[in-house]
Amino acid sequence: MKRLFINAALGVALVTLNMACSDFLDIEPKGEAIPQTVDDYAYILNFPDLMKGGETYPLYLTDDVYLPDVADNEMVPGLNVKERYIQRLYTFDKDVFGENVSDALWIAAYQRIFYSNVVINRVMNATHGTDERKRAIRATALAERAFEYLNLVSVYGKHYDPTTAQTDLGVPLITEDDITQTNLKRATVAQIYDLAEDDLKTAVNDLPYKAVPNVFKFTKSGARGVLARLYLYQGKYKEALECADSVLAKNDFLLDLSTCQVVDYHGFIGRTDVPSKDDNKENVLIRLSPYVYGLSDEVFGSDELMALFSANDMRRQLFFGDSIYSTVFEKPLWRPWFEQNLGVTTPEMYLIAAECEARVGSVGRAMNLLNKLRDNRIVGNTPLVAANKDEALKLVLDERRREFALTGLTRFIDLKRLNLDSRFAKTITHVVDGKVLTLPPNDPRWALPIPARPLRFNKDMLPNPR
């Protein structure tokens, strides 16, 4: 079968793309067939890897993760049995992947951006389809590209700071589907955010209100949810609130976790009956973790994280375990064992709206939003009360940590953005082999290294200082 190549200059591996038409399609200018019909381009967006997004490994830098030095047995995680790059992250090493280990987040994100660019640049000239359908397909690709760039710049760049974003280096900004591009450079953080914002705002106009056939597909609400996240990261709280509220106006469902239970305490996949994917109405846009069960059975919750959960918090009861058979854990083990959504959810919109209200709006509404979420998470929840915006903000940020514990990039990015605020700036501490290791606020190591392969292929692409 014919193959689709992504420029080695980006350090992206060979990938194949299943197409709707009879030929396996390659990319111009190699002289092979290219997508022709609207159905061809629609099928590109059904590629299974486009149903995933984000990563979990940056969480090893955070204050939510605990690993003992040595794993007691095969059921218990320990630093000594982790892959070398995980050990380096947990110990705040300046090197992470080295010269020969691929960075899965970088590779997968640029693969998805490449597919999106093919659709964005070509679908309007496709045959056998209406302009309306072409615009909808293009809108999906624009939203997908924005989602990926927001993840990339959040991991490999400094966090967005309006005073320095115009000069801070982000990631290569690729908008063409020309695989012959060479000598790529890193765009600034501001340029990446500007592209993602433009893509999402354009996409909203042509995306459907309702997902077809399921919420793996972008809708107006899905794009607005990503836009709410983007504005939150930029500190544009009024805009983030408007977007989050628009999503909640269409879907404000919250799953009452008290109706769920652990059905196989010592089990793995299917350990709980918490619904996932389309069965969970909280999901507005689904993007699964590359390993769909995330960090299940891979890490312990840190003492600081676990102290945030009350005994009657269903997130503690459902998603953490204290033992498997005769093995009793030193600390609670993260073991949700359901397919976690790293896309857009209604709980995230509640928390974005609550944070923005606490910062620039109504303390009363912030607490109402927060308590509505907690009512569906904590049995017999006692409503929280805040006397002022600062108290409300602290309560919301604590709830974000509980709700998104050990899931996706959320805590990693939250730490980076909050480090820009002296009230919340934090030094992360891990103890390894009796030594106290620290990662101070705004340390260069918060921006993960640009992978070695693209640096070798692009002499003008600057590495991150480490």
Q: In the chain, what are the domain boundaries?
A: 8-457
CA distance 157 to 159: 6
Give the DSSP letter of residue 54: -
CA distance 416 to 414: 5
| CATH number listed for the domain at residues 8-457 | 1.25.40.390
Do the Cβ atoms of 101 and 84 come closer than 8 Å? yes
β-sheet bridge partners, residue 37: 127
Answer whether 0.85 is exceeded by the pTM: yes
Residue 418, pLDDT above cutoff 60: yes
pLDDT in tens, 269-293: 999 999 999 999 999 999 999 999 9
pLDDT in tens, 118-134: 999 999 999 999 999 99
Mean pLDDT of all residues in the chain?
Answer: 92
Cβ partners under 8 Å of residue 198, min gap 6: none
pLDDT in tens, 25-78: 222 333 345 789 999 999 999 989 999 999 999 999 999 999 999 998 988 999
Element (H, E) at 412: helix 410-418
Closest by CA position to 42, among listed 58, 13, 18: 18
CA distance 430 to 434: 10
pLDDT of the residue at 199: 98
pLDDT in tens, 285-321: 999 999 999 999 999 999 999 999 999 999 999 999 9
3-state secondary structure of 2: coil
3-state secondary structure of 156: helix
Element (H, E) at 192: helix 189-206
CA distance 396 to 388: 12
Cβ partners under 8 Å of residue 270, min gap 6: 263, 264, 337, 338
- CA dihedral (27, 33, 38, 44) positive or negative: negative
Pull the structure tokens for residue 178: 């020309």
Do the Cβ atoms of 172 and 186 come closer than 8 Å? yes
Closest by CA position to 335, among listed 404, 412, 269, 255: 269
Element (H, E) at 301: strand 300-301
pLDDT of the residue at 179: 64
Do the Cβ atoms of 206 and 178 come closer than 8 Å? no
Residue 463, pLDDT above cutoff 60: yes
Confidence of residue 101 (pLDDT cuts 50, 70, 90): confident
β-sheet bridge partners, residue 127: 37
